[in-house]
Amino acid sequence: MTVKEALETASRKLKKNNIENSINEAKYLLKYLLKKDDVFFITDLNYELTDDEINEYEKLINKRCSHVPFSYITGIKEFMGLDFYVDEETLIPRPETEIIVEYMIEHFKAIPMDILEIGVGSGCISISIAKCLENVNILGVDINEKALVTANKNIKEHNVQDRVKFIKSDIYENVEGKFDVIISNPPYIRKDIIDTLEDDVKKYEPILALDGGEDGLYFYREIIRNASKYLNKGGYIIFEIGYDQGEEVKDLLIQNNFADIEIIKDLAGFDRTVAGRLKLLK
């Protein structure tokens, strides 16, 4: 079977199983398997695949047809131009989460600071910040020990072990000290919505990374309620939020002595990030 034939068969099968962009997905999976660049897929469409390659490709396509997310098949997801290891214990980093990192770069470039991240998952936020801002020290926590294994692998891969440390903690449980910024992309999906999500998400991404409690706001409430114990006066809190949570999270911040609250939209025009500053005086 040639590359061209394999791609045609695979993309038909993917389409039949409701995978969008089936042509591209078929190509990217074969590219991943053969470790070839884009040029190969223009110049070598008549390359004859070996039997092993055909079998392996079929396994990859079958996984994708069962809606295993592409990034869990390849084990890698790009975020802020960097590659991160991911697996079924870590949320797949989303492009809209880059807004938190961009906010940090824009506001705090060259300022030395201590940062706490709650719910690190793959570690993509903390590690990207450390790669972009030289003067930061970051403590990240996650309740899921298995996610921390992958997050720690990413710390090493990106060589930021001198400035980024991840520990197991249920929110602040094992956190000591004070920080200049608290960051979190917490689980924020309402419990009753989870069942309506696409299969790729609800069947394969970790429930611990999705479930934000009855109203989706559990983690915002918990993090904000205790933030003043861990945040220096004038310190910042920066959250990713669901598209309809901006006003509620803003209110929670106001009720807990935060000011200068900004709600930032993503590229699709939805509220996506909220930042606020702990008041200097009560």
- Nearest CB to ligand SAM, comparing residues 49 and 139: 139
Strands 82-85, 76-79: pairing is antiparallel
Whether residue 237 contacts residue 182, with contact meaning beta carbons closer than 8 Å, is answered with yes
Q: How far is the CB of 77 from ligand SAM (least distance, A)?
A: 9
- Nearest CB to ligand SAM, comparing residues 184 and 256: 184
Locus of tokens 């870590």: 90
**Would you count residue 238 as binding ligand SAM (CB under 6 A)?**
no
**Would you count residue 185 as binding ligand SAM (CB under 6 A)?**
yes
Locus of tokens 């039997």: 51
**Would you count residue 171 as binding ligand SAM (CB under 6 A)?**
yes
Whether residue 229 contacts residue 172, with contact meaning beta carbons closer than 8 Å, is answered with yes
Q: How far is the CB of 194 from ligand SAM (least distance, A)?
A: 13
Query: Could you give the CA distance from residue 154 to residue 165 in angstroms, rounded to a whole number?
Result: 11
**Would you count residue 138 as binding ligand SAM (CB under 6 A)?**
no
Whether residue 159 contacts residue 134, with contact meaning beta carbons closer than 8 Å, is answered with no
Whether residue 163 contacts residue 133, with contact meaning beta carbons closer than 8 Å, is answered with no
Locus of tokens 């300022």: 111
The region of 10-18, 184-192, 196-204, 250-258 touching ligand SAM under the rule CB under 6 A is 184-192
- Nearest CB to ligand SAM, comparing residues 122 and 273: 122
Whether residue 15 contacts residue 9, with contact meaning beta carbons closer than 8 Å, is answered with no
- Nearest CB to ligand SAM, comparing residues 10 and 124: 124
Q: How far is the CB of 242 from ligand SAM (least distance, A)?
A: 11
**Would you count residue 128 as binding ligand SAM (CB under 6 A)?**
no
Q: How far is the CB of 261 from ligand SAM (least distance, A)?
A: 21
At a CB cut-off of 8 Å and minimum separation 6, what does 156 contact? none
The residue within the footprint of ligand SAM, chosen from 11, 71, 97, 152 (CB under 6 A), is 97
**Would you count residue 22 as binding ligand SAM (CB under 6 A)?**
no
At a CB cut-off of 8 Å and minimum separation 6, what does 212 contact? 186, 187, 188, 189, 190, 191, 218, 219, 242
**Would you count residue 125 as binding ligand SAM (CB under 6 A)?**
yes
- Nearest CB to ligand SAM, comparing residues 41 and 166: 166
- Nearest CB to ligand SAM, comparing residues 142 and 271: 142
Whether residue 277 contacts residue 234, with contact meaning beta carbons closer than 8 Å, is answered with yes
Taking CB under 6 A as the rule, which mask of x and - marks residues 191-220 in contact with ligand SAM? -----------------xx-----------
DSSP per position, 207-260? GGGTB--TTS-HHHHHHHHTHHHHEEEEEEEEEE--TT-HHHHHHHHHHTTEEE
Q: How far is the CB of 7 from ligand SAM (least distance, A)?
A: 31
Residue ranges that bind ligand SAM, judged by CB under 6 A: 91, 93, 97, 118-122, 124-125, 141-144, 147, 170-171, 185-187, 208-209
